[in-house]
Structure formats: structure tokens, C-alpha cells
Amino acid sequence: MDTVISNGEIEKLFGIRGDQINFWEFYQCYPVRVGTRVLRASGDIAQVAKKHEKKYLSRVKKTAQHELAIKATEAFVNTQKRANKLQYLPNMETVLNNCMWEQWTVFIQDRGVEEQEWNSDQI
């Protein structure tokens, strides 16, 4: 009798992700440091960065979640930058432990007419 193993089971067994979630896209959205405070590792070879990657991939399972996390994180960091409050950004460990990008979705805004360049019309 033949045994049939699904691709999902093989991926689970060997720790292979079937979808294309690139943690480093998310990681690069967040500043390395603000002033003298270090918020995350500066490179992908650091041990703490690998720990962060493992934690992120354990929480974000689907590409849609990943894309939302990137969008929300970028929106939050930009909002803090405009308000001159970057010094209040939490450490990456805190962000990952609390899945804070889920709270930051409120900062995502589509560009409205009021935010477009005043001279974007072509003649």
C-alpha cells in the first residue's frame, strides 16, 4: 500500500514555508535606532535578528497578514516621524511579542485628493 503525503505535511515536517513571506521586508520598515536607543538589529546575520525572524514567522502565517504588517508598520513609523515622536517607538522585541502591527492598522490611510501633489496634473 502506498502512503500519500500532502505538500502541506511535507512543508510542516521540514519547516518549509509554502508561501512567500519575506521577513526582511518587514524588518527593514522599522528603524535600527532612534538617537542612542537601538530598536532592532542592523543586519540579518545578528543572532537577535534570527530570533526576531523566527518569532515573526511563527505569528504571521499568510502573505496577506505579512503585507498588512508591512503596511501598518510603515504607516505607524511615518505617523510617529511626522509627529516628531520617533523616540517613543517600542523595541522590535516588544513589537513582535505583542503583534503590534495589528493595532497599527488604524494608521493606514489611502492617499486622498488632499494629499496628492498640487502639480500632479499633466498637460
Average pLDDT of the segment spanning 86-106: 96
DSSP code, position 39: -
Domain boundaries of the chain, sorted by first residue = 16-105
Closest CA relative to residue 93, chosen from 45, 43, 51: 51
pLDDT tens for each residue of 16-74: 555 678 999 999 999 999 999 999 999 888 999 999 999 999 999 999 999 999 999 99
pLDDT value of residue 44 = 83
Q: List 38's β-bridge partners, or say none.
A: 33
